[in-house]
Structure 1
């Protein structure tokens, strides 16, 4: 794949993550190959660190640091040897930003997970945001903001093989255990779950097997994966994150919600984009149909992660989680 094709494929994902589209265009226009991607995005992230250092207010400092975190995370999307460093820099920039902007935010870590708990200590509900194949807690800051704006507490995490933990851990097929340990550490009785891309599978699986999940939503999540249909770049990412080719194929064989979907007791919203063209990922309609309280939202013009259609699903998803956890009606 040429760098032009790669940049086009990541376009709506990057914009959905919150970077300026014009800056994205300027940065990617200057690339001559995919190997230039990581270094260029790292340089852009460092430019925001410099602006943060020179900012005239703590608010501006924090906002620049959040933007740096986004660019550092996006630097990890193309394979290169500095990807672990970029993930670590994204994690550090987010940590610095929240320390400045939200003194009440709390770093929470446990076996197989780490992230930031944000929102009021007396919030009427707590939501876990679960990333996917090569995403991380720094990618979904707009989703976190939407949930915070509805009065909820939000714990956006990196799990095994994800984000800052990708360099030292591998994917955990039994992600419900990760969710369960996080709930234990957070000390709450019930949670909402939002999972994005592969995180949608993780969230649905956890909702089926962890009784403290009271509300759940998935975005572009696979109902089932087929190794032979997955494109080579996706198989390569899974192999890196799962710990090798054999482990990757075994992991993919376990990604199947046929038997688990009927066990999801919590109200479930499944969001899909009709323009999602990743082969090997079956449509989420089956998940919504098999879940006892499933609702299916299909956005005709939405792509994978629906970064090109945020207004078509983000408010509805946020309301679904908030109303379910708070016991109110939409």
Structure 2
């Protein structure tokens, strides 16, 4: 893990690349990651407090939320505090910018529902192993601009729920709770990184999923081949190595992919090569209505290739849900 390796992910999350490079240039080692990123976040909290308008204050609060979230991605003894601060800052920003946004919570999830109350379609954005609802603002905005209601969520082992829950492979149970709480007849799903598996698994087992998009999602995990940093992260989010091994063994869409009958768009980057992770081509091929978008130059989460897929994926999902 290096700061440079996270640059495209950071810019995709809405962090200014110049500020990101300034903050990370001062790191003597990764052990300073959390402190430096939380300090940057608090700088934006201070700017929000001094802002002359609600729009400016909300903008700084949104950026603070993203810096706090990124503070959870590296070594940080205050990771739980950073996740809570990210959640709080985003809530304060939405109070100012979108007072109609609603916090919706259930036994296994929490998140924000944004967009028109009378929207014709609802999309749920599902994060991955170490991401959360504060990260994928560009995806959320793309869906909002197309008139959809959007629920950005944290599920088990994700975001603000990391300290109190652990990952689970039967994510369709969580998506079912979300759909019930939203009161929707059907939803579209967008899953990023491990969220891509969660979305595909849900599309196979939850009949109210009307269309789905996966971005850099795994088709299969091989625990023994995973690099040590990924195994360590999964062990942390699963609550122990035995649970992590068991979870990794369940991340296999070979049998589930043919059960996906809704429209499915699978987006992969050719530069996204992680040992022990099988990318999404088999998922698109085995699903009856699967479509595969492969970008040879794309990295993990395709933050370096957003013009090549984000607008097209948002248009595709909007069309399928309408």
Band of TM-score, shorter chain: over 0.9
Output one character per residue of 1:87-131: Cα deviation in whole Å (capped at 9) or x when no partner. Answer: 000000000000100011000000110000000010000000000
Tell me the equivalent position of 1:122.
Answer: 118
Q: Does 1:237 align with 2:233?
A: yes
Distance in 1 separating the partners of 2:168 and 2:119? 30
1:160 to partner: Cα distance: 0.3
Q: How does 1:239-318 map to 2 (within 5 A)?
A: 239-318=235-314
Question: What is the TM-score with the length of structure 1 in the denominator?
Answer: 0.97
Q: How does 1:1-330 map to 2 (within 5 A)?
A: 6-326=2-322
Distance in 2 separating the partners of 1:47 and 1:30? 16
Distance in 2 separating the partners of 1:27 and 1:63? 19
Distance in 1 separating the partners of 2:295 and 2:100? 36
Output one character per residue of 1:45-84: Cα deviation in whole Å (capped at 9) or x when no partner. Answer: 0000000011011011111100001100000011221011
Output one character per residue of 1:172-201: Cα deviation in whole Å (capped at 9) or x when no partner. Answer: 111000000000010010000000000000
Q: Which runs of 5+ in 1 are unaligned?
A: none
1:277 to partner: Cα distance: 2.2
CA RMSD of superposed structures (Å): 0.7
Question: What is the TM-score with the length of structure 2 in the denominator?
Answer: 0.99
1:86 to partner: Cα distance: 0.4
- 2:269–2:300: 8 Å Cα contact kept in structure 1? yes
Aligned length: 322
Distance in 2 separating the partners of 1:69 and 1:227? 32
Distance in 2 separating the partners of 1:324 and 1:198? 23
1:6 to partner: Cα distance: 1.0
Runs of 4 or more off by more than 6 Å in structure 1? none
Distance in 2 separating the partners of 1:194 and 1:272? 13
Could you say what secondary structure the match of 2:214 adopts? strand
Distance in 1 separating the partners of 2:273 and 2:11? 18
Distance in 1 separating the partners of 2:264 and 2:106? 27
1:280 to partner: Cα distance: 1.2
1:15 to partner: Cα distance: 1.1
Could you say what secondary structure the match of 1:258 adopts? coil
Output one character per residue of 1:132-190: Cα deviation in whole Å (capped at 9) or x when no partner. Answer: 01000001011000000000000000000000000000001110000000000100100
